[in-house]
Amino acid sequence: MATFNEPMRPYEVLYSEANGSLSREGITVASGQGILEAGTVVAKITATGKYVAYDNAGSDGSETAAGVLLQSVDATSADAGVVAAVRLCEVRLDAMQWAAGLLQADIDAALVDLATKFIVAR
């Protein structure tokens, strides 16, 4: 029998969040990022204010984790709008998605960055 993997559902990464929509924000993912799944940890580019997948080796703002996508988005050929958790929430560590090639030390650094925004991974 075939095995099927169900993709992450929108908002499934959240354990809890602040009242109303205080934890959420509409963001713009920069063109060229490809398809980013719900739960992807993102960083904000300093020069443009657009978001990209977190990369601890970056030097343009991408090295500082700034939020977690709550929905999947396709930013392959154009900027794309999406909702992200950017403050005051708890997220599922096992549901978080990371860019390919990140080491455990990079992930640990991202979790520290997120904690400064009161995004706590459990």
Domain ranges, residue 97:
22-121
User: What's residue 94's pLDDT?
Assistant: 95
In whole angstroms, give the CA distance from residue 44 to residue 67: 9
In a domain, 26, yes or no: yes
Residues 6+ apart with CB under 8 A from 84: 24, 25, 27, 42, 51, 67, 68, 69, 70
Report how far residue 78's alpha carbon sits from residue 97's, in angstroms, rounded to the nearest whole number. Answer: 21
**Within-domain flag for 17:** no
| pLDDT higher than threshold 90 for residue 9 | no
Q: What CATH number does the domain containing 66 carry?
A: 2.40.300.10
Instruction: Note the pLDDT of residue 8.
Output: 74
> Would 51 be classed as within a structural domain?
yes
**87 found inside a domain:** yes
The answer as to whether 2 is a domain residue is no
Does residue 15 fall inside a structural domain?
no
The 10 Å Cβ neighbour count of residue 118 is 13
Nearest one of 7, 1, 8, 15 to 92, comparing CA atoms: 15
Domain count, the chain: 1
Q: Is there a domain that residue 57 lies in?
A: yes
119-121 and 89-91 as β-strands: parallel, antiparallel, unpaired?
A: parallel
* pLDDT at residue 31 greater than cutoff 90: yes
- List, for residues 55-107, the tens digit of each pLDDT value: 999 999 999 999 999 999 999 999 999 999 999 999 999 999 999 999 999 99
| C-beta pairs of 102-108 under 8 Å, 24+ apart in sequence | 102/54, 102/55, 102/56, 105/56, 106/56, 106/57
